[in-house]
Amino acid sequence: MNQPQQKQRIVIVGGGSTGWIAAAALGRQLKGEQYEVTLVESSQIGTIGVGEAVIPPFLNFIRGLGLNEQQFIQETQASFKLGIQFRDWAQRDHSYFHHFGALGRKLDGHDFLQCWLKARTLGDTADLMDYAPAAEMAKQGKFFLPFKMPQESPLAEAAYALHFDASLVAKSLRKFAESRGVRRVDAKVNGVELDADGNIGALQLDGERRLEGDFFLDCSGFRALLIEGELGSEYEDWREFLPCDRAVALQTSGLEDVTPYTISTARDAGWTWRIPLQHRIGNGYVFASDHCSDDEAIATLLRSVEGEPLHEPRVIPFRTGMRPQFWQKNCVALGLAGGFLEPLESTAIHLVTRGVQFLLELFPHDVTNASSWQQLALDYNARMRMDYEEIRDFIILHYCATRRDDTPFWRQCQNLPLPESLRQKIALFRERGEVRIGGDDLFKVPSWQAVFTGMGVMPEHYHPFVDMSDFAQLHMAMRGGRAQLAEEVATLPSHAEFLRAHCPAE
């Protein structure tokens, strides 16, 4: 098979987090002798300006680029995130934690959850999260890097992610991408030229400029300039499963005490987020317009925030769902242009990195030749759908398992239609606490266990084999492990101390 003779031209439209994540990854991977990567963004239009919490795999992406994590944290005014505290979701005045990383250790070969379930039948009231290292750190407001802990310590099994300033992330990734040869053009795309086969051939830019390309990445945000505006790609709407369709966002001045976790609080018609950075707090209210006006949402948000507002509240409409064809013709839609799931589990930026990862794995031999990628595009679209559906189901679980019936919104949530995939997961968990996931799923078993039990979905039985062990001994090991975890966490620096010592904002 011959290599194409000419340089292959990749054009990225959009310079939000998505565009620069894609540019950084392509810049790292593609050699300048064979590929030319250009990113077009319009400083007049700007970016969406939200998206400030991520999940642990994002750090793998940063490390994969070869960036220094500590420096990245300093540059982006980031704080550490050990999970999410969910307030008032299962019912009012109740909270639970979805942690990152491990949750207990196997005991005598039994899954930890099964032992915990048996302990409960004997009257043990310890919370499942008392056995999760990240949750314990969050509870005590402490932080230390798990990979620097001795291997035998339970803290080595915690995991963490970040809260960061999205505009500073784009800036940092831009610096990296440009240093790897990515060319940036500041221009507004005013038109698109298609060739005879319906593939994109060139972009018309303002100032009478024209930019030709062989392969295009649509990172233009909700505008979906190429994939929808030009190629007419369909959108699969998931509002029947997830009724929220708007958000109002507001940044406020920061506090001394930066919690190492996101707080998500259920409200009358949705939920609010609180994301603490080193220099300010990101806040927002995700709500269903069928149950709440913009003015009511703004008033609710203003009542709930701490610190001084740094700007006027911004209302952002959105449409939950995805494009069945993320990859259509010679164009791949990434980020908001490809689909959207509300930010309850901070998964949007992760889906961008997954989209980029799949694209690199399936990269066509010759991007100028459509016949070289038809099968690849089918596979790409199938992979992305699996990721979107998995995350969609996980998010729906937070709503459908609620016992709240105090507002029309929560009553609607109790009666949401459920995707069959989720219905089966719930039934399996209710029966025996089992969770079946795919090998490549984002949310692993401990995450499902945390949300199921946090929302009050309790299994009817535990595994019968637990009864074959000497449970008095297992129970003692559980109690000992819990005490040891709490004691070890108590010796760690506070999150604020750790930030000050290791990664103060620049």
Binding residues for FAD: 189, 336, 349
Per rule CB under 6 A, is residue 264 in the interface with ligand FAD? no
Per rule CB under 6 A, is residue 397 in the interface with ligand FAD? no
Q: Which of 8, 10, 12, 17 binds ligand FAD (CB under 6 A)?
A: 17
What φ, ψ does residue 456 adopt, rounded to 5°? 85, 20
Report how far residue 219's alpha carbon sits from residue 227's, in angstroms, rounded to the nearest whole number: 10
**Nearest CB to ligand FAD, comparing residues 46 and 480:** 46
Crossing angle of the two packed helices 374-400 and 348-361, in degrees rounded to 10 = 160
Instruction: Return the beta strands (E) in 22-87 as ranges.
Output: 35-41, 79-81, 83-87
Minimum Å gap between C-beta 247 and ligand FAD is 3
Q: Which of 31, 81, 171, 425 is catalytic?
A: 81
> Could you tell me the two tokens for 488?
């070890």
| Residue ranges at the known binding site for L-tryptophan | 345
Per rule CB under 6 A, is residue 191 in the interface with ligand FAD? no
Per rule CB under 6 A, is residue 28 in the interface with ligand FAD? no
Q: Which of 10, 249, 258, 301 binds ligand FAD (CB under 6 A)?
A: 249
Per rule CB under 6 A, is residue 194 in the interface with ligand FAD? no
Minimum Å gap between C-beta 170 and ligand FAD is 8
Per rule CB under 6 A, is residue 317 in the interface with ligand FAD? no
Report how far residue 225's alpha carbon sits from residue 63's, in angstroms, rounded to the nearest whole number: 31
The stretch near ligand FAD (CB under 6 A) out of 14-22, 69-77, 83-91, 150-158 is 14-22
- DSSP for 227-295 reads TTTTT----EE-TTT----EEEEEEEE--S---SSEEEEEETTEEEEEEE-SSEEEEEEEE-TTT--HH
Show the site string, 206-235: x = touches ligand FAD by CB under 6 A, - = not: -------------xxx-x-x----------
Report how far residue 145's alpha carbon sits from residue 153's, in angstroms, rounded to the nearest whole number: 12
**Nearest CB to ligand FAD, comparing residues 316 and 370:** 316
Q: Is residue 81 among the annotated active site residues?
A: yes
Minimum Å gap between C-beta 253 and ligand FAD is 19
Amino acid at residue number 246: R
Q: Which of 15, 104, 243, 254 binds ligand FAD (CB under 6 A)?
A: 15
Report how far residue 483's alpha carbon sits from residue 494's, in angstroms, rounded to the nearest whole number: 19
Q: Which residues is 283 bridged to in the sheet?
A: 250, 274
Per rule CB under 6 A, is residue 59 in the interface with ligand FAD? no
Show the site string, 348-367: x = touches ligand FAD by CB under 6 A, - = not: xx------------------
Report how far residue 103's alpha carbon sits from residue 448's, in angstroms, rounded to the nearest whole number: 11
SS (H, E, C) 119-187: HHHCCCCCCHHHHCHHHHHHHHCECCCHHHCCCCCHHHHECCEEECCHHHHHHHHHHHHHHCCCEEEEC
Residues marked as catalytic: 81
Q: Which residues bind ligand FAD (CB under 6 A)?
A: 13-19, 40-42, 45-48, 50-54, 166, 188-189, 219-221, 223, 225, 247, 249, 284, 316, 318, 335-336, 343, 346, 348-349
